[in-house]
Amino acid sequence: MRQFPIFFTVQDRPVLVAGGGETAARKLRLLRKAGARVTVVAPRAGTEIRDLAEAGAVTWRAREFMDADLSGAALAYGATGIDAVDRQVSEAARRAGVPVNVVDRPDLSDFITPAIIERDPVTVAVSSGGAAPVLARGVKAAIERLLHPNLGTLALFAERFRGAVKAVVPEGRARLRFWDRFFDGPIAARVLAGDERGAVEDMLAYVNRRGREANGIVHIVGAGPGAADLVTLRAQRLLEQADVIVHDRLVGDGVLDLARRDAERIDVGKAPGRHPVPQEEINEILIAQARLGKRVVRLKGGDPFVFGRGGEELQALADAGVRAEVVPGVTAATACAAAAGIPLTHRGHASAVTFVTGHKGSGDAPVVDWAALARSGATLAVYMGVGGAAAIAEELSRHGLADTPVAVIENGTRPDQRVVTGRIRGLDALVRAYGITGPALIVIGDVAGLARADARRAPLAAAV
Ligand SMILES: C[S@@+](CC[C@H](N)C(=O)[O-])C[C@H]1O[C@@H](n2cnc3c(N)ncnc32)[C@H](O)[C@@H]1O
């Protein structure tokens, strides 16, 4: 950073501009916008400066610059375009301790005037540190396009309600959230669209509700496989805004740490064979919380729509008339494959991949047609397969895959990740030999043999 960026208050303070031409007039315009009391020193001046002086809006001293002109000045500009005079202004200002800018002369300046994007009272300043002013102008143009023309109106609208909001939402974090939602939500959109009157009514109601939505919403969010930096930016933003987080067992602590500290957390985690909160009850919790007007994040391991029962929750919410949206997450198959260096499809090895559950249905009949899968030649990514490893190995071996490579990835992407490899016929022994008890994904197919050596544990003799 070549300069220290600050916004300097010049409201009602004297600023000196040496020079009477167009360059000086440009600085004068900016300074007047910021409320400065400007004195121009120049033997001759253009029409704009003369008119302003006549109207009493600026002081014009129609003579050469003198050191004494700097007396009491908060800032000084050298804008004469005459090297000797600008240098004199710079040296005198530095002697007097007045910050000085000489137009296009960084060597004579203490500060620069950046490219400015104005949505008063919002101001964005862009500088290239003098290295490439044209590039700074390009950046300014890009930002101009990004910022809504009525952004300033929105800032002033918010300012009108600051006192009232502070009174009803005294706690700092809650207030931050209140404003986050406001700027992100429909009232701000109304102000930007030019309907300030309608927005005032909505805002009064919103303030009276202390920032609660009139109608709540449930975001069914994929938390990924465990590593906190594998959640999406959208998931992270929603976690920061949520009032309530209803989460599963497989959601990593690091991911939960992304949530607001004061958000309510409801753990509805299911361990295998243990169902502390039945699915119907989870649906009821989501509906009830949303009906209280809250922003609910239903946080699920991996992707909500891959063996996540996200579909059932979405259906229940729709039936109850509750607004709901789904945010995808990185599913265990892709995450574990990446962590183990196993491409799920690979030229010459596998042209398809099937996500399949190894969990048996409630009856005796397997829910999966293993014979068809064995014939398909696709890579199989088996979720929840550890408990049924023996049965899966038996089924697939019976259908010709006994020698097919297999990789088991336990706690994929987490610090305690383990990758073990072998052949289908030894799958059960492999799982037992390594005591695989954490969540694990089983990859079956030629590609499993490509597991990265540095991610893989050497197979135990008993398991091969
Ligand atoms: C109920 S399913 C949920 C799957 C999740 N919706 C997804 O998209 O990854 C749970 C199973 O996903 C797999 N799984 C989830 N996270 C895993 C991880 N970090 N490492 C290995 N397997 C994982 C395991 O097979 C586990 O038994």
258 pLDDT above the threshold of 70: yes
Q: What is the pLDDT of residue 185?
A: 80
Q: Residue 340, by phi and psi: left (phi above 0), alpha (psi -120 to 50) or beta?
A: alpha
Q: Which atom belonging to ligand 1 lies closest to the Cα atom of 357?
A: 25
Lowest mean pLDDT among 123-132, 233-242, 258-267, 273-282: 273-282
186 pLDDT above the threshold of 90: no
Taking a C-beta distance cutoff of 8 angstroms, is the pair 427, 395 a contact? no
Binning pLDDT at 50, 70 and 90, where does residue 76 land? very high
Report CA(302)–ligand 1 centroid distance (Å).
6
78 lines ligand 1 (CB under 6 A): no
413 lines ligand 1 (CB under 6 A): yes
272 pLDDT above the threshold of 60: no
Ligand 1: which residue has its CA nearest to atom 5?
Answer: 302
To the nearest 10°, report the CA torsion of 248, 252, 255, 259.
50
226 lines ligand 1 (CB under 6 A): yes
Provide CB contacts within 8 A for 101, sequence distance 6+: 75, 76, 77, 78, 109, 110, 111, 112, 113
Lowest mean pLDDT among 107-111, 152-156, 236-240, 250-254: 250-254
Taking a C-beta distance cutoff of 8 angstroms, is the pair 352, 327 a contact? no
Probe residue for ligand 1, chosen from 231, 251, 253, 307 as the CB with the greatest number of ligand atoms within 8 Å: 307
Report CA(412)–ligand 1 centroid distance (Å).
9
Average confidence (pLDDT) over 199-207: 93
Ligand 1: which residue has its CA nearest to atom 27?
Answer: 384
- For 1-22, what is each residue's pLDDT tens digit? 888 999 999 999 999 999 999 9
3-state SS class at 41: strand
320 pLDDT above the threshold of 80: yes
Q: What is the pLDDT of residue 294?
A: 86
Average confidence (pLDDT) over 321-343: 95
Report CA(167)–ligand 1 centroid distance (Å).
46
What DSSP designation does 49 have? H
Torsion over CA: 236, 237, 240, 245 (sign): negative
- For 211-220, what is each residue's pLDDT tens digit? 776 678 899 9
257 pLDDT above the threshold of 70: yes
Q: What is the pLDDT of residue 184?
A: 79
Ligand 1: which residue has its CA nearest to atom 13?
Answer: 383
301 lines ligand 1 (CB under 6 A): yes
Torsion over CA: 455, 458, 463, 464 (sign): positive
Average confidence (pLDDT) over 182-191: 87
424 lines ligand 1 (CB under 6 A): no
Binning pLDDT at 50, 70 and 90, where does residue 462 land? very low
Taking a C-beta distance cutoff of 8 angstroms, is the pair 11, 72 a contact? no
Average confidence (pLDDT) over 290-316: 94
Report CA(407)–ligand 1 centroid distance (Å).
15
Reference 117, options 85, 140, 146, 150; nearest CA is 140
303 lines ligand 1 (CB under 6 A): yes
Binning pLDDT at 50, 70 and 90, where does residue 293 land? confident
Report CA(440)–ligand 1 centroid distance (Å).
7
Torsion over CA: 134, 140, 142, 144 (sign): negative
Probe residue for ligand 1, chosen from 250, 355, 414, 418 as the CB with the greatest number of ligand atoms within 8 Å: 250
The catalytic site residues sit at 248, 270
Q: Per DSSP, which regions of 262-415 are E strands?
A: 264-267, 295-300, 323-327, 353-357, 379-383, 405-410
358 lines ligand 1 (CB under 6 A): no
Q: How far is CA 408 from CA 371, 417, 439, 455, in A?
A: 21, 10, 10, 11
Taking a C-beta distance cutoff of 8 angstroms, is the pair 236, 318 a contact? no
Binning pLDDT at 50, 70 and 90, where does residue 172 land? confident
458 pLDDT above the threshold of 80: no
Binning pLDDT at 50, 70 and 90, where does residue 223 land? very high
Give backbone dihedrals phi and psi of 372, rounded to 5 degrees, phi first: -65, -40
Report CA(43)–ligand 1 centroid distance (Å).
80
464 pLDDT above the threshold of 50: no
